[in-house]
Structure 1
Amino acid sequence: MNTDNLILKYLDVWNERDDTARMTLMTSVLTDDSLYTDPDNAGLRGHAELSNVIAKAQLSFGDLLFTLDTVISTHHDHALFTWRLGTVATGYDVVEFSGGRISRIIGFFV
């Protein structure tokens, strides 16, 4: 899977409302020991911790969905991209890849 497709699949994880489907998607996108950090959450490790945070966050999203804005740059095993949550929020994520999946996400809200 190329970098852009992997990033799109990662955003699909955030958009998936069904807990079981989200966990299945996570196994194809994120390493088992993936690490997630953003301004509200530090050091979430693995699929279950991130999935729980996503489920709680979705309660405040309403019908809003994450979309990819721009892949700004990629090099070696890293990518920097911008995303949008409907028309109400934007942010930047830095992701690190390992074995064809995402192993680390550092998110920034704008």
Structure 2
Amino acid sequence: MPEYTTLAERYLEIWNATDAVRRRALIERLFTEDATYTDPLGSVRGWDGVDTFVAGAQQQFAGLTFSLGGAVDGHHDTARFTWHLGQDGAEPVVIGFDVIVAEGDDRIGNVYGFLDKVPG
């Protein structure tokens, strides 16, 4: 059974990795090669798709970081958690809720994202 909090932390580490080479290496270690990522702003597949999507979000929200917004909850191969995007100590600019589906104990096969708070 996966360690859900560890998966979520590794997942958010990707969103915070601004060095393109490091980010790509993290993606290839965490996601399966044909993984999918779907949220209200897009749907992508594979390492290239995830990498491009994350890079776009980093450009849009430069200087902000992702963090867990509370405890990670999971069962079987599925986990859910809230995340915050903002600056340390400040009110989050964006709040989201993601569901990840694990492949084995340490890889992600699917992500389903939801946005609870977005800038006006």
TM more than 0.5: yes
Q: Distance in 2 between matches of 1:74 and 1:89?
A: 23
**Structure with greater strand percent:** 1
Give the count of matched residue pairs.
Answer: 109
**Aligned-partner Cα distance in 1 for 2:96–2:22:** 25
- 1:8-58, CA deviations, whole angstroms, 9 ceiling, x for partnerless residues? 01001011111111110112211111100000002x111111111111221
Over aligned residues, Cα RMSD in angstroms? 1.2
* Runs of 4+ residues over 4 Å off in structure 1: none
Q: TM-score, normalised by structure 2?
A: 0.85
Q: Secondary structure at the match of 2:67?
A: strand
Q: Which runs of 5+ in 1 are unaligned?
A: none
Partner of 1:80: 80
Alignment pair present for 1:107 and 2:113: yes
CA contact (8 A) 1:11 1:66 kept: yes
Alpha-carbon distance in structure 2 between the residues aligned to 1:71 and 1:26 = 23
Local SS of the residue matching 2:15? helix
Structure 2, unaligned runs of 5 or more: 87-91
Which structure has the bigger radius of gyration?
Answer: 2
